[in-house]
Amino acid sequence: MTRFFKNLFLPAFLLLISMSGFGQIPAGYYDSAEGLQGEALRQALHNIIDDHTSVSYDDLWDVYADTDKRPDGKVWDTYSNCDFTFSSDQCGSYSSICDCYNREHTVPQSWFNEASPMKSDAFHVIPTDGKVNGYRSNYPFGECNSGTTYGLGKLGSCTFPGYSGTVFEPADEYKGDMARIYFYMATRYMDVIDNWPSESQIAFSGNNLSNWTREMMLQWHHDDPVSQKEIDRNNAVFGYQHNRNPYVDNPNWADAVWDPNYNPDFTELHSAFFTVSPNPANDFITIRNSFSGDNNTFITITDLTGRIVFEENVKSTEEQIDISSFPNGSYLVVFRNSGRINFIQKLSVIR
């Protein structure tokens, strides 16, 4: 078995702009959401992603070949390290971990009476190991410090404040993925969640996330930033459903909607505070920023696959970086402070 970690891809307020050159976000797709926050923003995003094109539940098997393929061509399963082959390893019956993969509803089907379009919404129905999926059952996601390990997850009593029942805890490298899926679900289905069975109210409350789930998911969202895997999956699902997960496209919207301490003047800083020059470049670049630098401030350069080619702690408002060893091509220069403030700029290396 081979373990595949997500490629690091740091969140940024300017992600929409930076991705426009190589992503699949239609021009003007999010225009009606710009400048909003709180419930007004969630409603605007709901209106944008509502009424998506539904794929059938059976068709999800074929969808996964485009949305959940690992670099080695195997199924990208967030619940196990198993090497599943598309189609031939579909469940079926199973008795052990790694027997087969099936369709996991991250928001359990019983929470919405197996109704459509939730039942086959590819943003939250993902391929996972059948046996681990069975262990997870319809328990909510949570944290369980002394839980029993199954595959990459754990099952046990919740240790996150606000809930003490049985929960399933995903692997750390996928907690952010699950959080952004739940943010999507709380936005896409905000008009029907209030009518879901009472069982769903463990994680949801009224037409929104329950308080403990909101707090935990925001923490997961910050601790496990958006990855290239999620960006690729978002683009692939968009090709089928014609809607997107806005919290993958713009991670700061999660804070803008659910963080009561959200401060747009602090978070949505203008890109003038972060400059990269010259651009295009060949041997050196100079990065200027408005921060004096501290132990929580970093510059990271990745190629467009998300592979980190340079990273260092920022100690001053002007940094010179040697890029003479970089092959010609396009890169992303990312500036992050305390893991929460981010700028991102595309860099071209041409010689």
Cis omega (within 30 of 0) for bond into 117: yes
Is the pLDDT at 146 greater than 80? The verdict is yes
Q: Which of 155, 153, 148, 96 is nearest to 126 (CA)?
A: 153
Does 220 have pLDDT greater than 50?
A: yes
**Cα–Cα distance, 73 to 182 (Å, whole number):** 27
Q: Which helix (H) or strand (E) holds 309?
A: strand 308-313
Q: How many CB atoms lie within 10 A of CB 172?
A: 11
50: number of Cβ within 10 Å: 13
What's residue 346's pLDDT?
Answer: 78
What pLDDT is recorded for position 9? Answer: 41
| Of 36-45, 244-253, 265-274, the least confident | 265-274
CA atoms within 13 A on the CB side of 187: 32
Mean pLDDT of 98-110: 98
The count of residues in the chain is 351
- 58-72: per-residue pLDDT in tens? 999 999 999 999 999
| Helix pair angle (228-241, 60-67), 10° resolution | 140
User: Per mean pLDDT, which range of 207-211, 287-291, 299-303 is the poorest?
Assistant: 287-291
Strands 148-150 and 308-313: unpaired
Taking only Cα atoms into account, the Rg of the chain, rounded to an integer number of angstroms, comes to 21
pTM for the predicted model, two decimal places: 0.76
Chain centroid, CA 246 distance in Å: 10
Residue 291 is predicted with a pLDDT of 62
Which pLDDT score, from 0 to 100, does residue 276 have?
Answer: 84
DSSP classification of residue 281 = B
**Where is mean pLDDT largest: 24-38, 45-59, 282-296?**
45-59
Note the pLDDT tens digit of each residue in 52-61.
999 999 999 9
Secondary structure (DSSP) of 55-77: PPTTTHHHHHHHHSB-TTSSB--
Q: What does the alpha-carbon distance between residue 123 and residue 247 come to, in Å, rounded to a whole number?
A: 12
Measured CA to CA, the distance from residue 141 to residue 42 in angstroms comes to 22
Q: What is the pLDDT of residues 309-333, one digit of tens each?
A: 999 988 787 889 999 999 998 888 8
- Asked if 32 and 40 touch (Cβ cutoff 8 Å), the reply is no
Q: Read off the tokens for 138.
A: 């319809």
pLDDT at site 2: 46
The predicted pLDDT at position 338 comes to 64
The predicted pLDDT at position 325 comes to 93
- Residue with tokens 């929460």, as numbered in its chain: 340
**pLDDT at 236 exceeding the cut of 90:** yes
Q: What angle do CA 123, 50, 105 make, to 5 degrees?
A: 25
* C-alpha 29: how far from chain center: 19
C-alpha distance from residue 101 to each of 67, 91, 317 (Å) = 15, 6, 50
Instruction: Kindly indicate the confidence band of residue 8, based on its pLDDT and cuts at 50, 70 and 90.
Output: very low
Domains and CATH numbers, the chain: 15-258 (no CATH), 269-349 (2.60.40.3080)
| Residue 75 DSSP code | B
User: What does pLDDT average to over the chain?
Assistant: 87
